[in-house]
Amino acid sequence: MKKSNPLTEKSYSFSIRIIWAYQYLSKKHNEYVISKQILRSGTSIGANAEEAQGAQSKKDFIAKIQISLKEARETHYWLRLLKETDYLEAKLADSLLEDCEEILKILTSILKSSKNNL
């Protein structure tokens, strides 16, 4: 039986929500530039977290988690921007920001403990 992994589960669910937000932005607002940016960074979080699970070494694992953290920070930026410019309703943006912040905390914690155990 496969062991539960909160990071990969949360980042996968977040990726799905980001794809839905992208579809909403491109269909309702005809917004393609920022929506494409958030699609790339938001789905990259989980892809890199998943890749970290198959890392060849501790350093490789840390590198993948660092990339995932950078992508999460970028996504957080785009979400704030979309909220402040009213492309996303406050309720939706706040919900996505909350999820993103939770992922940021998990990634930061993993990175700190991994670096301490090098």
- What CATH number is associated with residue 64? 1.20.1440.60
**Domain residue limits at 82:** 6-116
Domain membership flag for residue 52 = yes
Domain membership flag for residue 53 = yes
Residue with tokens 């589960």: 9
**Number of structural domains the chain divides into:** 1
Domain membership flag for residue 1 = no
Q: Summarize pLDDT for 33-55 with one digit per residue, the tens.
A: 999 999 999 999 999 999 999 99
- pLDDT score, position 62: 97
Domain membership flag for residue 111 = yes
Averaged pLDDT, groups of 10, the chain, 118 residues long: 85 98 96 96 98 95 98 98 96 98 98 91
